[in-house]
Structure 1
Amino acid sequence: MGKPRKPKGRPISGWLILDKPIDFGSTEAVSKIKWLFKAQKAGHAGTLDPLASGMLPIALGDATKTVPYVMDGRKIYEFSVAWGEERTTDDLEGEVSQRSDQRPDAEELRALLPKYTGVISQIPPQFSAIKIDGERAYDLAREGETVEIPAREVEVFRLTLLGTTPNLAHFEIECGKGTYVRSIARDLGRDLGCFGHIASLRRSFVAPFAEDSMVPLSELVALEKIEDEGERLAALDAFLIDTSEALSSLPHLAVNDDQAHRLRMGNPIILRGRDAPVAEPEAYATARGRLVAIGEIAEGEFRPKRVFAET
């Protein structure tokens, strides 16, 4: 039996909060960041369409183990809806499928917004990553198939009208996991009888990462001009956010070096003291400020489920 193949790249871990440009796919962005950082592993938390810009959190190395916690976080988008046309993709990329000369005013829009706030039922776009019988909806749509995508419940915490022009309306939305803003635009247009599609879309927030943590792709690419590889990689690494930042919504436990070693070996540790937590379905442990494990607190123990390499 041959030796196991050594992973290519650096065993670097952390989050890079990319400000994704328009006309750049999420998968393409991840590949570019992985190449720039020479990372062994990379993944993203929440796809952004090529025609959308803004926050795309990218996990490198062990940070990929924390992607689900970011995927579940709240998101904020600013978007514009163009009235008068519904399109096959529900954005500028698709073909016009319905037209109307009718245009809504601000009063009509504000009156409709409560319908789109709270837990709502939503049908994802035909061109979406939803799987239908094992295939992506957008692959079926590109082949000319019209598929029945079941409605699903999503949560909208806030939908605000920012302004209007004769043919456009500008909104900000704060929403939960799985919400399609393109579907919001499509359904608003249908309810108003004027049809509509997304004209612009930008994501400004993905919990727990703040807008000011975003790094433009151009700023990262500009560092390629640094000839010394060590200096170049150090400049890139300065943009990384610690992996544990993705877990800020979970209870936190600080452990000592001996406990950290046990946890990294996959063993539980006993929690002592009057203030020791009693029961938590999920919590994370750190030692010397570095992430050690995600696990469960039960029966006086912290039981690791996912462990992180010492860096």
Structure 2
Amino acid sequence: MTHSVLSPPAPPGDRAVAPARRPRRERQGAAYLFLTPWFAGVLLLTLGPMVASLYLSFTDYDLFDPPRWVGFGNYVTMFTADDRFWHAVGVTARYVLLSVPLKLVLALAVALLLNRARRGTGLYRSAFYAPSLLGASVSVALVWRAMFATDGTMDRVLAAFGIHTGGWVDQPQYALLTVVALAVWQFGAPMVIFLAGLKQVPRELYEAAELDGAGAMRRFRSVTLPMLSPVLLFNLVLETIHAFQAFTGAFVVSSGRGGPSDSTLLYTIYLYQRGFTDFRMGYASAMAWVLLVAVAIITALLFRGARRFVFYAGEEAR
């Protein structure tokens, strides 16, 4: 009676719902509060610069004067009147086609060796992974340039076997191979990913293959590669994107010119030259957007083609 006189009882629905709603709103508010720096970073450091770059790609902008609207002029000039643009596209395509397969093959080969239980495996993994941490630095690129320069370490080693190249860095036919070798040397990241994938392959599959009389190569083709195909696709996509974005190594090895004779003029180096050497920032922005669209198309094609060779556990064979 006292309860009914002083305060009427709340309906059952209010007792069940009201206390539950308030904590949920509070949790959501706290989550958004902690996410505020991330939202600010995305808007100010990613989306904002992207929108500005897209606008500048339709302008003639030299960093000093206000942008002047030219419409699709930068894109028309790029595709119809810029021979160095197409040369940079060709050099970049050769670089990607050489560096990505070699890097993945080397990473997979080393991962297969390290997948075997033996003493000191952890030390070897760290040693093979270290170049991926150091390879993008300017200091390593400078050492690499000195190694492959005329009368450098590699020149002397090859000369001892009667092979005289005159220095890879200074020869147009070998200069790009120097940059490719620097990229392949940084195989540690895909190697670790391959190694993680190999650990997930069931041992029962290898045992069944052995019982059927399959040798080492047959087990690799019939068991390892199919089970590792999702990881292979992952590494292929990542390394392809990274290859198109390659800049530091080629820039340092070629002293920022893409030489000799534009033999190492990667797309990113030519974009840098247009934007920060020629001060044609509008043209450089247009080149950046062309690169973005090209990489997106290539990535989509890789995913589409992956349906033919990627196997996921639990799905029916095609």
Instruction: Return the index of the structure with the highest Cα Rg.
Output: 2
Higher relative contact order (CA 8 A, sep 6+): 2
Query: How does the TM-score come out when normalised to structure 1?
Result: 0.20
The structure with the largest helix share of the pair is 2
The structure with the largest strand share of the pair is 1
